[in-house]
Amino acid sequence: MKQKIFLVSFCVIGFFIIYYGLVSLNLSSANVSAEKHISPVERDTVKILDEIKDKTYKKYNIGTYKINSNEINIEIKGSQEYFESVKNEVKALVKNTTKSTAFENYYININKSEINRVISEEHREEHLLLQEITSTINDYLSESYPNQIDQISLDNTTPELYIEVKTLLNEKQKTSDVVKEMENKINKIYMNLEKKLFLNKLLKEKSIKIHIYNKHGDKIN
């Protein structure tokens, strides 16, 4: 009986040893096959890029690393002053890293990243748009309700665009009809701006919330 149990156990263990051996062999074959698809040039390119990154990314504010035909391109993030102060250091480091390699004679192109400029331009456009919305609403309401509009302000820090209208209306005045008219006028202005600037990201992605206050700071809509 003990011999039979021992024989069965031995067979099971042997099966798993053979199974996992085959699985390991298949995985190793797959890795070798994958490596065969990478050309020597690609392998060398990845290796040299890794070396350049290792020597620069902690010390410098680098945006992108690229190697094209006969050219190494590196973009530096930051101000123009920062770019001017480090570009020669980065170029010399890259030149030293590629020395005695297949990339030794590649042209090293160090540029200032355009990311900051693009973001700054978007912020500028958004600021100008908010100014236009504010002034348009203020002019329109001031003309419609002379001496009744105190201040127009916009809050763009939330998922919705808040338009706040501080009026000089007092508590005793019947304001419901006037407030409704103001809301309709503001919505109409915003819709007109949407048509005029239909490609603008701010107008496309944000709905508006209108808050109207009386002279005492109480919300009346």
Instruction: Answer whether residue 98 shows pLDDT above 80.
Output: yes
Q: What is the mean pLDDT of the chain?
A: 76
CA–CA gap between residue 192 and residue 1 (Å, rounded) = 92
pLDDT, average across residues 24-28:
44
Among 2-6, 127-131, 174-178, the range scoring the smallest mean pLDDT is 2-6
Cα separation values, 64 from 52, 94, 115, Å: 11, 14, 11
pLDDT given at position 38: 59
Instruction: Answer whether residue 162 shows pLDDT above 60.
Output: yes
Half-sphere exposure of 148 (CA within 13 A, CB side): 17
pLDDT given at position 93: 92
Residue 34, C-beta contacts closer than 8 angstroms, at least 6 positions apart: none
Among 35-39, 59-63, 71-75, 110-114, the range scoring the smallest mean pLDDT is 35-39
Percent of the chain with pLDDT over 90: 10
What tens digit of pLDDT does each residue of 52-86 get?
988 887 888 888 888 887 899 998 888 888 889 99
Top pLDDT among 212 and 13 is at 212
Long-range pairs for 154-158: beta carbons < 8 A, 24 or more residues apart: 154/130, 156/126, 156/130, 156/202, 156/206
Instruction: Answer whether residue 27 shows pLDDT above 70.
Output: no
Instruction: Answer whether residue 4 shows pLDDT above 90.
Output: no
What tens digit of pLDDT does each residue of 169-215 get?
887 666 678 888 888 888 888 888 776 666 566 666 777 888 888 88
Question: Confidence class of residue 3 from pLDDT cuts 50, 70 and 90?
Answer: very low
pTM of the model: 0.45
